[in-house]
Chains A and B, each alone.
Chain A
Amino acid sequence: MDLLEKIKLREPEYDAKYYDMILDYTIEQGAKMGTAGEEEKWKQGKYFSTRYEMYMYATLLGMKRDYSLPIEKGTDKKSFIKIDSWKPSEIADYIIMCAIAKSNLDLFELENTEEAEVDKKITELKSTIESYANGGFDIIRSKKEEDEAYFLENDNSFLDLLDEK
């Protein structure tokens, strides 16, 4: 199987403590609430249509700020859909590319390792994504705590946050 396909079969996890925060900015999807339209999303003051959108955002935010915060062992974690289902797939692929860049993998060496070792490396890549996502969530959390109105009163808050150093 192709490496990319293998990576995309993985389901990155996040610290369960961010579940409520993610819901604050995301429309509940699926059987629980039904699928909310874009208009509803706007009216509800939500920024993301799906939880994976916010996850992608948090990962890239963490990567941009180079803020990796590995989830501690024993932490209660939540999983969600595999990367293969993330849309747009171009952004999902870009995140994988960034994770590879961040992990300083020797690509040629990877090709020459045993199957089990490859799987291990894929798990490490997933962890890399999770660590940066965790870092990103931590940035959002601290921003929210520091200024409660930041995300409430500015429609462009998540865009502005990308520009902050």
Chain B
Amino acid sequence: MILQSIDLDNFMCYYGENRFEFTEGINVIIGDNGYGKSKLYDAIYWVMYDQVFDTSSKEFKPTKQLNNTIISDRALHEAEDGQIQCSVTLTFIDKRNENTYTLQRQLKATKENGEINFGSKSSRRVTKKKAYLTAQVVDNNEEIERIEKKIIPENIRHYMWFQGEQIEKLIDFRDNETLTQAINVLSDISNFDNISERTEALYSQVKNELKKKQRSLSKDKEKSDSLEDDRKQLERKLAELKGQLKEAEENSRKAEQKSSQLLNKLEDAQRIRELDDKRKAVEKDFNNVHQQLNNEQLTFHKKMFTNSWLLKGTEELFENFSEQYSKYEEDRLNKKAEIKAKLAVENELIKELQTRLPVNVPEPIYVQQMLKEQRCLVCNREAKEGSDAYKSIESLVNRSKKEIKELSDVEIAKHDFSNSFKSLYHNGLNQEKIISRVDEDIHNTLIRTQELLDRKGELREELDEITAEMENIVIETSIDTDQAKNIINDLRAQNKYAERFNVDIGYLNNQIKEVEKKLKKLEKDYEDLVVGDVDKGLIKKVDLCEELYNAATSTRDRVFKRLIDTLEEEANKHYLSMTQDNLSVRGIIKLREYNGNYTPELVDENDNQLLQLNTGNIILIKLATIMAIISARKSTRDTALYTLISDAPMSALGDDYTIGFCKTVSQTYRQSIIMSKEFYKNEDLRRELLNGNNINLGKVYMITPNLPDSERTNRKKLSTNIKPLN
């Protein structure tokens, strides 16, 4: 049967009514972490098994324990008082007869005065619709079981419906149980085990019968009894040694298993360590840039004053002042020239007087006498007041007071503000030079700030990417930074344990051989004591039982080996197909026997193990093996009858492997539904998926959360956008 559609109504992040339709081929639901891919997987699982995967405890839990996470938070938040309903409907179609089956699970809650009460149980309704007829509700449990089996049989369910994080555990061939489970899917090997055990018991029983007979025919009964006691003691010892060996082998297996898990994690651990170092370096750069940016922003406004930014555009005012100052200078010069000319005249007169008679000749009292008498006493001529002669005598009176004056002796104006004006002018000149560079200065500062902002943004982005990658690795591998540091130490310790247990195994094997040798000799001694003939029929019976036992064991081993070979061959077919586009060393998958168990490893053409595999390789080997478990059952046509549903199986794969996986899955399974984030950001990869020639493509959807930016702290407004891409 193939899954035709899923209808989700208020289920988890799928608020309101949502629908996905699927066809044959590979159907892909693309979305980033937290966008609702796993919730879709949960929805299918919930309808079928009334359980959902609890991400915190990493296990499936029944509805009643997870009620409050099943109904959409938005539906609960927005609902008025009354009933709130959530449901998921799966519609399957049986292509052989066109019968349609719907399985719908519902969960109800009631809201009263804002308080929400969840119903204790979910309910399920199954309907069957034969072609051209009306759908009928199926209430017969046996029929429901038959329908469920048609959807997915229990024995293959784990290999058809799985989450990415389960892959490691599903195929852990060092663990006896996972191997047996896988082999049992291929063929019921436990039947052979039962036959083997029964023949062994039969053989042991007739052997004891023979011993009893032999003792009764002994020529030395006492010795026979003593030998029998010794034999019993040796057998007890042998059993004890075998017990110890089993324990040592189990311990060794566990140490190897742990060591192998750690080896698988080693690459992730190294990557985490690298990322952690890188994160620290980027964080240092980020803080540095942040500090520079802070400084830049802190000094930005200060530059308004220190770099004279606020003067931009005031050049005209300086020009005006320059004109004022220039006029002032001119006025001063003119004034100076005027004063200078006046001084020149005055000085000339003084000079002239000084050349006529020396100062104080005649002495001032005689000059006063001459003026009083209006007569020159030197030449004795009359000098009437007001006459030129009188004036000439009079000019001699103040002659001593009159001195030649310099310009500096004369005040040009009442005040001298020249220093102030000059200072203002020079300051203006300096500022003018600065103003001419202000635009460039501001531009450079803004560019520098922008560069720092850009750099900060880039570093923030880089930091976010590193953190996201680290978080992803931590989620996928359950290794945190501290554990990453301890993995190498743990690995060394586990290898040491394994080495020690292997030494123990060698020692115990030797001991066992010795005891078995002793037992054989003892058996011979025992037989030598027998006189007369033991019933030949009994001896024949023992031989026959031994043969039967050996045949049963070897048949079981042969069948098992054949199944392993088939599995290996089929796994390699898928592995080859998935790795075709990747150029790295591919290797061959080998299911290597180890202490009676098998583990998948990659080998070269000479059967030498390829070491240092990356996580992608390891997951790919396991995916190939999972696919092989189903596809190797050729007679059952499981790959054509049932849908492969997997959530994030490709999270550890590179781009080429991702496409290779999709191609192989689409060619192997009639229908598959894969949830993936690989195609979300990588548009080239998405294009390759949508246009890939060798991919038998079904429907492709992109899911994104629909949530206002202001409401990202909770899910009260969350719904999911479903966009078909083809």
- In the complex, what residues of A have CB within 8 A of residue B420's CB? 2-5
What sequence of 0s and 1s flags, for each residue 291-306 of chain B, a beta carbon within 8 Å of any chain A beta carbon? 0001001111110111
- In the complex, what residues of A have CB within 8 A of residue B414's CB? 111-114
A60 contacts B424, C-beta separation under 8 Å: no
Min CB distance, B43 to chain A, in Å?
Answer: 44
CA–CA, A108 and B331, complex, Å: 6
A38 contacts B417, C-beta separation under 8 Å: no
Q: Which of B302, B312, B327, B428 contacts A108 (CB 8 A)?
A: B327
Q: Which of B308, B313, B332 contacts A90 (CB 8 A)?
A: B308
- In the complex, what residues of A have CB within 8 A of residue B309's CB? 159, 162
Is B314 part of the contact surface with A, judged by Cβ < 8 Å? yes
CA–CA, A102 and B317, complex, Å: 7
Is B366 part of the contact surface with A, judged by Cβ < 8 Å? no
CA–CA, A106 and B324, complex, Å: 7
- In the complex, what residues of B have CB within 8 A of residue A48's CB? 301
Min CB distance, A6 to chain B, in Å?
Answer: 9
Is B416 part of the contact surface with A, judged by Cβ < 8 Å? yes
B428 contacts A38, C-beta separation under 8 Å: no
**Least CB separation from A5: chain B residue:** B420
User: Chain A: how many interface residues by the 8 Å CB criterion?
Assistant: 47
Instruction: Tell me the A97-116 residues at the B interface (CB within 8 Å).
Output: 97-98, 100-102, 104-108, 110-114
Is B400 part of the contact surface with A, judged by Cβ < 8 Å? no
What sequence of 0s and 1s flags, for each residue 121-160 of chain A, a beta carbon within 8 Å of any chain B beta carbon? 0000000000000000000000000000000000110110
Q: Which of B310, B318, B332 contacts A60 (CB 8 A)?
A: B310
Instruction: Tell me the B128-166 residues at the A interface (CB within 8 Å).
Output: none
CA–CA, A95 and B328, complex, Å: 19
- In the complex, what residues of B have CB within 8 A of residue A110's CB? 415, 417
Q: Which of B304, B413, B424 contacts A93 (CB 8 A)?
A: B424
By secondary structure, the B interface counts as helix
Q: Which of A41, A64, A162 contacts B301 (CB 8 A)?
A: A41
CA–CA, A110 and B420, complex, Å: 12
Is B325 part of the contact surface with A, judged by Cβ < 8 Å? yes
Instruction: Tell me the B393-442 residues at the A interface (CB within 8 Å).
Output: 412-417, 419-421, 423-425, 427-428, 430-431, 442
Is B598 part of the contact surface with A, judged by Cβ < 8 Å? no
A93 contacts B427, C-beta separation under 8 Å: yes
Q: Which of A3, A39, A98, A155 contacts B314 (CB 8 A)?
A: A98
B314 contacts A64, C-beta separation under 8 Å: yes
Most buried by B among A38, A88, A114, A155: A38
**Least CB separation from B430: chain A residue:** A90
A155 contacts B300, C-beta separation under 8 Å: yes
A155 contacts B297, C-beta separation under 8 Å: yes
B424 contacts A42, C-beta separation under 8 Å: no
A60 contacts B417, C-beta separation under 8 Å: no
Min CB distance, A39 to chain B, in Å?
Answer: 6
B304 contacts A94, C-beta separation under 8 Å: no
CA–CA, A48 and B318, complex, Å: 25
**Least CB separation from B422: chain A residue:** A4
Is B610 part of the contact surface with A, judged by Cβ < 8 Å? no
- A2-B430 CB under 8 A given contacts A88-B305, A108-B413: no
B424 contacts A108, C-beta separation under 8 Å: no
- A107-B310 CB under 8 A given contacts A97-B428, A114-B414: no
Is A57 part of the contact surface with B, judged by Cβ < 8 Å? yes
B428 contacts A94, C-beta separation under 8 Å: yes
- In the complex, what residues of B have CB within 8 A of residue A108's CB? 327-328, 331-332, 335, 413
B415 contacts A111, C-beta separation under 8 Å: yes
**Least CB separation from B323: chain A residue:** A101
A97 contacts B417, C-beta separation under 8 Å: no
- In the complex, what residues of A have CB within 8 A of residue B300's CB? 155-156
B423 contacts A93, C-beta separation under 8 Å: yes
- A94-B427 CB under 8 A given contacts A107-B417, A114-B414: yes
Residue contacts A-B, CB under 8 angstroms, 11 given:
A3-B415, A38-B299, A39-B294, A39-B298, A57-B310, A64-B314, A107-B327, A107-B417, A108-B328, A110-B415, A162-B310
Task: Identify the B interface with A (CB < 8 A).
Answer: 294, 297-302, 304-306, 308-314, 317-318, 320-321, 324-325, 327-328, 331-332, 335, 412-417, 419-421, 423-425, 427-428, 430-431, 442, 446
Task: Identify the A interface with B (CB < 8 A).
Answer: 2-5, 38-39, 41-42, 47-49, 53, 56-57, 60-61, 63-64, 87-88, 90-91, 93-94, 96-98, 100-102, 104-108, 110-114, 118, 155-156, 158-159, 162-163
Given contacts A94-B311, A162-B309, 10 further A-B contacts (CB under 8 A): A4-B419, A4-B424, A38-B299, A56-B305, A57-B310, A87-B305, A97-B425, A108-B331, A110-B415, A113-B414
Closest CB pairs A-B (n = 7):
A108-B331, A107-B328, A111-B413, A101-B320, A4-B420, A101-B321, A3-B420
